Structure 1
Amino acid sequence: MSSERELEISPIVQESLMQNSRTLSNLQSLTASLFGVSAGILGLESYSGFLFYIVFSLLTAVLFYVLRVAPTSIASGKAPLDTSRYFRGPYEFWAGGVMNGFAGFVLTWTLFYGLVRA
């Protein structure tokens, strides 16, 4: 939790948190559909398809963190893996995308699996 002094120096703006969440959600929805296309074309079935989705969704979160969040966190002196300054919580950042994009993944996965295997 941030102290009052830290909030005075660099305040957390709710509009910025909402914009960051929207950007991350859009990225996760887009990549979930792309992962569904990939899983369908590869012909993955059952657990291997779901494992494919989970691994690549978490990989997307890690890449987003490394390329976008980590440089600014390190520059501001924050602890590693601390996303509280840019997002509502760590769950929203690390695992929220797995649930948000799941429906789009399954939809495109079954569509492309049917198209390729038909």
Structure 2
Amino acid sequence: MSAPNPDAAAQRIYLPNVQHNSALMTVKFLSACFTGATAGILGLQNWLGFALFLASTLSTSACIYVINCKGRPAKYMPGGLWELVNPGQDNMFSFVLAWTLFFGIVHVYD
């Protein structure tokens, strides 16, 4: 196994990059919450809701990849592209929470 590039390791600890990582994760979190609200309002059930979550995660990751990371996600995240596409456990739970909340509010008497 090769030793990590010291310049790349130091760049990951660089404070502006760490703050940028936080902003990227916030965008992914908000995207998951809004997608859950959309799925609940539309009344999606079962796999259709999760398909919407998957499409939202991929489109959000693509936007972040092109706009924020400028095609080099390894510069901003230790996992690179996989870390960018990974929905994360907290984002999935936030999606399900918003989905069930808005589904229950809008479709309570259906």
TM-score, with normalisation over the residues of structure 1? 0.75
CA drift at 1:46: 0.5
Distance in 2 (CA, whole Å) between partners of 1:104 and 1:61 is 17
User: Is the contact between residue 21 and residue 77 of structure 2 (CA under 8 Å) also seen in structure 1?
Assistant: yes
Partner amino acid, structure 2, of 1:87 = M
Aligned CA distance change for structure 1 residues 98 and 44 (closer, same or farther; 3 Å): farther
1:92 equivalent among 83, 97, 101: 83
Distance in 1 (CA, whole Å) between partners of 2:77 and 2:20 is 7
Partner amino acid, structure 1, of 2:73 = T
Show the 5 A alignment for 1:38-117: 38-70=38-70, 81-90=71-80, 91-95=82-86, 97-117=87-107
Q: Secondary structure at the match of 1:101?
A: helix
Aligned CA distance change for structure 1 residues 2 and 85 (closer, same or farther; 3 Å): farther
Alignment length (residue pairs): 103
Structure 1, gaps ≥5 residues long: 71-80
CA drift at 1:16: 3.5
Per-residue deviation, residues 3-59 of structure 1 (Å, max 9, x unmatched): 56xx39xx5140334222211111111111100100001100001101110111110
CA drift at 1:2: 7.0
User: Is the contact between residue 12 and residue 75 of structure 2 (CA under 8 Å) also seen in structure 1?
Assistant: no
Distance in 2 (CA, whole Å) between partners of 1:108 and 1:13 is 32
Distance in 2 (CA, whole Å) between partners of 1:57 and 1:98 is 10
Distance in 1 (CA, whole Å) between partners of 2:72 and 2:69 is 9
TM-score, with normalisation over the residues of structure 2? 0.80
Q: Does 1:12 align with 2:3?
A: no
Q: Structure 1 vs Structure 2: percent identity of aligned residues?
A: 28
